[in-house]
């Protein structure tokens, strides 16, 4: 029994297509969305609602509390166990999400970078904050040119991560991009959802407005009241924008605007990453999910 993986930029309709496909083939969905792993923020992280969950079994959605410091390594173990169990039941796993690293972790025995002590990370954070983005990035250029090419100087988290990995004898830049043909744990059909950038942008704006109308501010307020978030949970997309609104630093219009801009940039990075995937079958997804699912079923 093989695996089908559906990847695409945010707002490309991955979840709807995955559900429609799972219904057609008797599959079960395994999320590879890093944000959806956290419970308590279903609106912010676009988690499936009760109606979606009733249409197809879902795995690895709402797995961790926001206090949990999750990692790719931990996720990989959970994903491998879920996929293997689905295959053992004679059903097809439908791996779905827009987190490229988590997609790789779900499908392959991927070598993971070493864990870095907090003190080492703090050292590079102090370097970045004290010397400035350009100086920190210049240090990265000298230490690990391949990683520096992939990291913008103003992306503090990734510059720090690249520097700490170099110090640990590793690199943020993978040795190779190819893993699907030789290293996938099960025979895998990799599907990329192709939606014009303008259509994705329009969907992002509509979805953002719907999130705020649907109560995302109240959702974040309630989640914050439960206690401190882990460093990984703090990186949930859009969390900072809504938190800034709650704490009076910006108004709702600015929070919506920031989240739209942030999400568009994220979608652009996802499209870039998707183009690097070897063996990817692009499918026109600017149409009804049922039609997209029918084409994927035929490809299987």
| Location of each CATH 1.10.20.140 domain in the chain | 118-167
Q: For each of the chain's 300 residues, which pLDDT tens digit applies?
A: 699 999 999 999 999 999 999 999 999 999 999 999 999 999 999 999 999 999 999 999 999 999 998 888 899 999 999 999 999 999 999 999 988 889 989 998 876 666 777 788 888 899 999 999 999 999 989 989 888 887 889 888 889 888 988 888 888 776 544 444 457 889 999 999 999 999 999 999 999 999 999 999 999 999 999 999 998 899 999 999 999 999 999 999 999 999 999 999 999 989 888 888 888 999 999 999 999 999 999 988
The set of long-range contacts for 87-90, using a CB threshold of 8 Å and a minimum separation of 24, is 87/1, 87/3, 87/186, 90/1
Q: Within the chain, where are the H helices?
A: 14-25, 50-55, 72-88, 100-107, 118-131, 133-143, 145-149, 156-167, 180-183, 197-213, 216-225, 239-246, 252-275, 289-299
CATH 3.40.30.10, domain 118-167, yes or no: no
State residue 180's pLDDT score: 45
- 32 φ/ψ angles, rounded to the nearest 5 degrees: -120, 35
Instruction: Identify which of 121, 104, 120 has the alpha carbon closest to the alpha carbon of residue 112.
Output: 104
| Location of each CATH 3.40.50.300 domain in the chain | 3-110+179-299
Spatial distance between the Cα atoms of 85 and 262, rounded to a whole number of angstroms = 36
Question: Which overall architecture, per CATH, does domain 3-110+179-299 show?
Answer: 3-Layer(aba) Sandwich (3.40)
**Contact in structure between 49 and 42 (CB atoms under 8 Å):** yes
**Contact in structure between 43 and 220 (CB atoms under 8 Å):** no
State residue 277's pLDDT score: 82
Q: Is 124 helix (H, G, I), strand (E, B) or coil?
A: helix
State residue 179's pLDDT score: 45
Instruction: Identify which of 96, 90, 87 has the alpha carbon closest to the alpha carbon of residue 61.
Output: 96
pTM assigned to the model:
0.81
State residue 259's pLDDT score: 96
């Amino acid at each position: 029994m093989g695996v089908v993986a559906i990847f695409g930029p945010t707002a490309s309709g991955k979840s709807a297509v995955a559900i429609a496909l799972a219904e057609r083939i008797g599959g079960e969905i395994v999320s590879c969305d890093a944000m959806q792993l956290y419970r308590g923020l279903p609106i912010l992280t676009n988690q499936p609602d009760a109606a979606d969950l009733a249409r197809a079994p879902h795995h690895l959605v709402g797995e961790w509390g926001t206090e949990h410091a999750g990692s790719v390594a931990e996720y990989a173990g959970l994903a491998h166990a879920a996929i293997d169990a689905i295959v053992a039941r004679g059903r097809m796993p439908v791996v779905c999400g827009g987190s490229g690293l988590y997609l790789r972790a779900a499908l392959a025995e991927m070598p993971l970078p070493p864990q870095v002590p907090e003190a080492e990370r703090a050292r590079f954070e102090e370097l970045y904050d004290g010397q400035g983005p350009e100086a920190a990035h210049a240090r990265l250029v000298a230490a690990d040119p391949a990683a520096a090419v992939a990291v913008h100087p103003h992306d503090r988290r990734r510059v720090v991560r690249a520097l700490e990995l170099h110090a640990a004898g590793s690199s943020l830049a993978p040795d190779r991009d190819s893993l699907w043909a030789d290293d996938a744990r099960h025979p895998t059909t990799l599907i990329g959802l192709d939606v014009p950038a303008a259509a994705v942008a329009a969907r992002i704006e509509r979805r953002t407005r719907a999130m705020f109308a649907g109560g995302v501010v109240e959702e974040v307020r309630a989640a914050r009241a439960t206690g401190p978030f882990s460093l990984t949970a703090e990186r949930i997309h859009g969390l900072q924008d809504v938190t800034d609104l709650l704490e009076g630093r910006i108004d709702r219009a600015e929070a919506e605007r920031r989240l739209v801009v942030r999400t568009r940039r994220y979608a652009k990075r996802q499209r870039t990453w998707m183009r690097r995937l070897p063996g990817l079958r692009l499918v026109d997804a600017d149409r009804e999910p049922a039609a997209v699912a029918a084409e994927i079923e035929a490809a299987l």
